Structure 1
Amino acid sequence: MSGDSYYFGDNVNMHGGRGNTGIVKNQVAATDAAAVSPALHSAVEELLQLVEGLRDRIPPASAQAIDDSLADISADDGAPPQDRHRALMAIAGVAATVGAVGRPVLDAVNKILELLGAH
């Protein structure tokens, strides 16, 4: 292994003492193909429709919890993954507590989590 070089993250090499500018950024933002897939878009749209139907059948506090989570659930890649996951889990929690009426919403959340690779 002697002489092998492995670089993770930033790498700075200085050669000489003048005009040293720049930095090599060995960091690449991972693109999640599932985040923009038609299947994910369809699953999110389905969830939004199901949630709209569920809102009228649950207590106001539960409806508010769903409303607070909807901004982080979208088919685009705008929300940070951890916020999207938190929002999905919040909606799943509400759906699970209302029994059979919430089952379709819970199934839709699980489908999205599978598409995101978080299930």
Structure 2
Amino acid sequence: QSDNLFIYNTYQQIIAQVEAFYSGVSDLFNHRNEVVLLEMYTELKRNTDEHKQVVTQAIYSDSQEHKLTEQDLSTMLNTVGEVSLSQTLLLRAMQSYLFSEASSRNLASAV
């Protein structure tokens, strides 16, 4: 609901990424082949990390151009960080459910 178009568009990007993330999480439960699951899981994790980096960099690089206040900048960075953390923690929790113990250990060390 911000009057600042940059803030509004950034939050719309975050919302779209969150929707895509949960769609991907839902898709994980539709596969039983561990190789497919591993590929899908790894891609979901990579996309989550990549989105955080891209959005964070855009916020920093565009903050002066779009005249963000310190509060706006802090709020946006905190939102991106919290969304990313919640997604990372959900993926970690899903490891033990989706993968065998050996695969889960290997995945934890690889991701």
The alignment's TM-score, normalised by the length of structure 1, stands at 0.37
- Tell me which protein shows more helix as a share of its residues: 2
Between structure 1 and structure 2, the one with the greater Rg is 1
- Tell me which protein shows more strand as a share of its residues: 1
The alignment's TM-score, normalised by the length of structure 2, stands at 0.39
Greater relative contact order (CA < 8 Å, ≥ 6 in sequence):
2
